[in-house]
Structure 1
Amino acid sequence: MVQATVTFISGGARSGKSAYAERLLTHQTTGRLVYIASGVAADEEMKHRIDQHKEDRQHANWHTLEQPKHLHEVLPFLKPDDLVLWDCLTTWLANEMYEGYEEGTPCVHRAGCLEQKQNQLLHTIKQMTEIVSQLVIVSNEVLDEWPQYEEETEIYRQIIGILHQQIVKQADYAIEMDHGLPIVWKGVNS
């Protein structure tokens, strides 16, 4: 069985991650372009960012799947030769951490919940690589050290760091965007 090429792209806010990821896939000559969007328009800034991303993708024929949580639910919609861009891991994790908030018990406060979500995510990524031809995963770099974090922020920071390491270990390419420039940490010329 042929495995998909996996590219992991991280970087700070407004570093050019999404635009670079889109260019990687839109330059391919075959395959359906699939954009998995994890963002939720919870406020005006996020609504503007989502609208901007949609506008940026208008020129290409992207098939968009809105999937803020439960990434595994996209699996039935994926096809062989799909070129998949998932934007983004950090937004997905925040959504998953607070699933159940409305009922009074977010996942972050339920024993074993986040571990189960991490395991499900890694399994889902593996399943995706068995279906599609290319998978690009975008994530924000949120690991800069600060003197002190609130408890939930520290949990988030630790989990995203672990997920970054686990995904990069399995990825063919790992790229960090800095000021719009790609720095290749794993893959060609690394």
Structure 2
Amino acid sequence: MAKGKLIFISGGVRSGKSSYAEMLVRNSACGRKVYLASGRANDSEMAERIERHREDRKLDGWHTIEQPIRFEEALLNIGEGDAVLWDCVTTWLANELYNGWEQNDMCADQPGCMEAKWTHLQRTLTELNDKAELLVVVSNEVLDDFIRDELYMKWLGTIHLWLVQHSDHAFEMENGLAFKRK
């Protein structure tokens, strides 16, 4: 099958990224609408938010795959010709980079750990893009994100540069408006 279309959407928190991404997938003529969710219910507020999003997506006909870590495992549930929305890179990165903090054994502190995860992510995104007809990736803009950790920002910038380089289109969201950057 031919390579699918890759669209990257970034912007500030609550700028309309997810709504715009959902609209792009909904309006596509692709097969199944798949929502790859990276959120984790670390507190009651996040648990409520995730549950509300699950219900909303179910009503709208989405197939949801919750994959907060080990993103490559999601590939098993993606079909040829699906329209896939991954929301979002920033949540996945925080999950992976700080995974193990409870045991004082974070990936961020282990030499080569994040490099290995980055290699897996690149491979996974390439395979996803080959399999899906449309892949829409959402992320917070580096300087607009709430995490101010230097290592986190370095990795987020690296991932964003790669995504833009490999995307067919890139949009920046601001106050609900999509600005086409590529």
Q: TM-score, normalised by structure 2?
A: 0.93
Q: Which residue of 2 aligns with 1:43?
A: 43
Deviation at 1:11, TM superposition (A): 0.7
Q: Which residue of 1 aligns with 2:159?
A: 163
The 1:56–1:17 alpha-carbon spacing in structure 2 relative to 1, beyond 3 Å, is farther
Paired residue type of 2:156: I
Structure 1: gaps (5+ residues): none
Q: Which residue of 1 aligns with 2:90?
A: 90
Contact 1:83 1:135 survives alignment (8 Å): yes
Q: Which residue of 2 aligns with 1:176?
A: 172
1:183 and 1:30 map into 2 onto residues whose CA distance is 24
Deviation at 1:55, TM superposition (A): 4.2
Q: Which residue of 2 aligns with 1:32?
A: 32
Deviation at 1:27, TM superposition (A): 1.3
Structure 1 residue matching 2:180: 3-state secondary structure: strand
Structure 1 residue matching 2:131: 3-state secondary structure: coil
1:53 and 1:118 map into 2 onto residues whose CA distance is 27
Structure 1 residue matching 2:99: 3-state secondary structure: coil
Deviation at 1:99, TM superposition (A): 1.7
1:52 and 1:46 map into 2 onto residues whose CA distance is 10
1:51 and 1:176 map into 2 onto residues whose CA distance is 27
Paired residue type of 1:159: W
1:137 and 1:127 map into 2 onto residues whose CA distance is 14
2:6 and 2:135 map into 1 onto residues whose CA distance is 5
Are residue 20 (structure 1) and residue 20 (structure 2) matched? yes
Deviation at 1:103, TM superposition (A): 3.1
2:104 and 2:42 map into 1 onto residues whose CA distance is 19
Aligned residues: 180
> Which has the larger share of helix?
2
Q: Which residue of 1 aligns with 2:118?
A: 118
Contact 1:26 1:60 survives alignment (8 Å): no
CA displacement, residues 53-96 of structure 1 (integer Å, 9 cap, x when unaligned): 33442442100001000110011111111000000000000000
Deviation at 1:129, TM superposition (A): 1.1
Deviation at 1:130, TM superposition (A): 1.3
Deviates more, 1:132-141 or 1:51-60: 51-60
Deviation at 1:49, TM superposition (A): 3.2
